[in-house]
Chain A
Amino acid sequence: MERTDRKIDIQALKDGDSKAYYQLTQIYGEKALRIAYFYTGNQDEAHDIVQETLLKVFQRIESFRNERPFAPWFFRILVNTCRDWKRNFFRRFRRPLEEIDSIPGWASPATPSITGWIRRQIQKMPPRMRMVFILHYQEDFSVTEISEILNISQNTVRVQLMKGRRFLREYFEKHRGEINHDL
């Protein structure tokens, strides 16, 4: 996270420089979109969440202290926006990952992989476990970084990761025959 932090010109963002806005979307946009997508399971919602996150970031950037690391601050806003989004009553009933197979490269029907199956199972995890799992295994955030972003202890992060792996293992053990047949 530190490496990308250096590329962000916080002062330019505070000054309202349009190039800085675009630069921010370039650096964090894709990552934010992937996290939102795997959390909500819907591409349109993921776009809305990222847009809302960027709006919040720009509205609050003046209260951000320059000496603090930017990435955890940014991703905390993203994660909170994802949570708020999911709390909406009507969105609870939406079918998750409706177009996982239609996104190029994610799970190509020509080359079915266990990764595609895992991505679908991640959607069935409880929200906190799902977010920790996505941040760690999908986006390569360390345990320390995740604890900063989610504002939880490192031990909680480790426990959630362990439970996530157990969740996948137990499901895989039960349905191994069907899964291997599909792959």
Chain B
Amino acid sequence: MTCKEVRIQLANHFDQDNWSNLSKAILDHISRCKDCQQYYQMLNQLGQGIDQLNTNHHSMSSAVVWQRLAEVVQENRLPYHRKVLRWRRIALSVAAALFITVGTIFFLRQKNFPPSGESELYVQFSDSQPGTTTIVFQSDSSGEPIIIWMK
């Protein structure tokens, strides 16, 4: 095995965190080659450093900090469902207001009310039905008279 092959294999073993199945050929090469031995030691040094990451866990905060944190969190606590209900109520109110506004505008446009342009309001007495009085709204734009009141 060449030094290059040995180093590639050692690097693979290191990357996979698996030193258990180092082949005899690699071990023999390491025992003979000083450079590869150094490379192996370097990987071991790095591996040991990684393994030591979970040791020496010094406290980053005091118990007082945690006590205060728990208090702050509790002070700000709002039950989830209540929060959702609050937002739902706001959303529904906005939707209802929008619906009413848009609906009103749409309705008024459809009925053409108030009519645009010249309009006229007059009282009509019917010849065919004596005694009948009708108040008629005549819009120029539509042309169709609208009976507002009849007696």
Question: In the bound complex, how far is the Cα of B60 from the Cα of A21, in angstroms?
Answer: 19
- List 17 A-B residue pairs with CB atoms under 8 Å apart, sorted by A's residue number: A16-B74, A16-B77, A30-B60, A33-B61, A34-B60, A51-B73, A55-B76, A59-B77, A59-B79, A59-B80, A104-B58, A105-B58, A106-B58, A115-B52, A137-B53, A166-B15, A173-B42
The answer to whether A138 touches B54 (Cβ under 8 A) is: yes
- B77 contacts which chain A residues (CB < 8 A)? 16, 55, 58-59
Assembly CA distance A21 to B51 (angstroms): 33
> Taking chain B's interface residues, is the majority helix, strand, or loop, or is none over half, making it mixed?
helix
Beyond the given A22-B67, A30-B59, A59-B80, could you list 8 further A-B residue pairs with CB under 8 A, ordered by the A residue number?
Answer: A18-B70, A29-B66, A33-B61, A54-B69, A103-B58, A118-B53, A161-B17, A166-B15
Given A18-B70, A54-B69, A176-B42: A30 and B80 interface contact (C-beta under 8 Å) = no
Number of interface residues of B (CB under 8 A): 39
Question: In whole angstroms, how far apart are the Cα atoms of A8 and B81 in the complex?
Answer: 22
- Expressed in whole angstroms, the Cα–Cα distance for A173 and B80 within the complex equals 51
Interface residues of B (CB under 8 A from A): 11, 14-17, 42-43, 45-46, 48-54, 56-61, 63, 65-67, 69-74, 76-81, 83
In the bound complex, how far is the Cα of B76 from the Cα of A26, in angstroms? 19
Q: Which residues does chain A contribute within 8 Å of B79, judged by CB atoms? A: 59, 62
A113 within 8 A of B: yes
Assess the B70–A25 pair: CB atoms within 8 A. Answer: yes
Question: A50–B66 Cα gap in the complex (Å)?
Answer: 10
CA distance A106 to B60 in the complex (A): 10
